[in-house]
A and B are shown apart, each in its own frame.
Chain A
Amino acid sequence: QKEVEQNSGPLSVPEGAIASLNCTYSDRGSQSFFWYRQYSGKSPELIMSIYSNGDKEDGRFTAQLNKASQYVSLLIRDSQPSDSATYLCAGGPSTSGTYKYIFGTGTRLKVLA
């Protein structure tokens, strides 16, 4: 079973700090990785995608991918209370698996005002 693992949290950070969310994956064939934000009672919203090793920045968000270590992370700079949500990491498609996307169970982030 191909897996994507995340610490469930909650991860609490003060307003204005950097929040660091981490994700590991077991399928070396995974080609793309996505970060989704999900507010309570809402559907997941795509915030970042990353396909190559290294960093990708978009506004306050930076995604990092290390395929050798099978590790993906999301950094949120200048965290705001509105960033409080569950962040889902997803990997796929895979050259070796049958599923298109595999999701982690999410990390709950709490930004304290």
Chain B
Amino acid sequence: KAGVTQTPRYLIKTRGQQVTLSCSPISGHRSVSWYQQTPGQGLQFLFEYFSETQRNKGNFPGRFSGRQFSNSRSEMNVSTLELGDSALYLCASSLTPQGPNQPQHFGDGTRLSIL
């Protein structure tokens, strides 16, 4: 069974640009969550999607947005990039978001560097 697939693995952008990251969940998983990981802040929750609807959102500015498609694949977009957006962006999937006992499985991440 294929795991969570994130593309691209590495990305270099400059300030002011925008970027789109992609995530394909494990087959059958319908919930997709996005996280930003930096050395100082650890894993910070961005948002979660289920059935093409955003269910939860973390404390990030509106420059960070996402969407989910009918096949559960998800994209994350960051506009007007800032130096502080340099981070590892991780996508995690789970079967459903309903109820407890739903572990998340992570992709390898996209490492975004802003110059």
Contact = CB atoms under 8 A, between A and B. Distances in A.
Contact of A88 (B33, B43, B101): B43
Interface in B65-102: 90, 97, 99-102
Dominant secondary structure at the A interface = loop
Contacts of B101: 31-32, 49, 51
Interface residues of B, number: 23
B113 interface: no
Interface residues of A, number: 23
Contacts of A93: 97, 99-100, 102
B58 A99 contact: yes
B90 A44 contact: yes
B2 to A, nearest CB: 15
B104 interface: yes
Given A43-B108, A104-B42, A105-B43, 9 more contacts: A34-B103, A34-B104, A49-B101, A51-B101, A88-B43, A90-B43, A93-B99, A99-B45, A99-B58
